[in-house]
């Protein structure tokens, strides 16, 4: 199967659904901006058909942050919450 056929979180879904869900779970505007920045590259420089964040990219990004806790962007609970919200909207 082609990568473009994988379910993805689009930029619109991210703004309408993921940000809203995380905000409702207590994420501050600053943390919401950090979440968006983590995935921003997947929304830029591609055709509309290619844009989006798939399951593998979610796993890779969250996994990388778990492996480097010294970055201190998010605690483990927050990373789990982000991952769940992203996967919910695939």
Q: What does the block give as tokens for 5?
A: 């056929």
**In whole angstroms, what is the distance from residue 22 CA to residue 84 CA?**
10
pLDDT in tens, 17-41: 999 999 999 999 999 999 999 888 7
Q: How far is the C-alpha of 8 from the C-alpha of 80, rounded, in Å?
A: 18
From CA 85, how far away is CA 3, in angstroms rounded?
21
Statement: residue 44 has pLDDT above 80 = no
**pTM summary value:** 0.85
Pick from 4, 25, 6, 20: which is nearest to 80 by CA? 25
Q: Report, as an integer, the average pLDDT of 39-56.
A: 76
Q: What is the pLDDT of residue 1?
A: 44
List the domain boundaries for the chain.
Answer: 7-88
């Amino acid at each position: 199967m082609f990568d473009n056929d994988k379910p993805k979180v689009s930029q619109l879904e991210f703004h309408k659904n993921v940000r809203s869900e995380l905000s409702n779970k207590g994420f501050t505007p600053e943390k919401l901006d950090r979440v968006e920045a983590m995935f921003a590259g997947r929304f830029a420089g591609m055709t509309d058909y290619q844009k989006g964040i798939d399951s593998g990219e979610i796993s890779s990004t969250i996994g990388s942050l778990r492996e480097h806790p010294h970055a201190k962007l998010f605690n483990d609970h927050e990373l789990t919450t982000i991952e769940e919200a992203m996967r919910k909207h695939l």
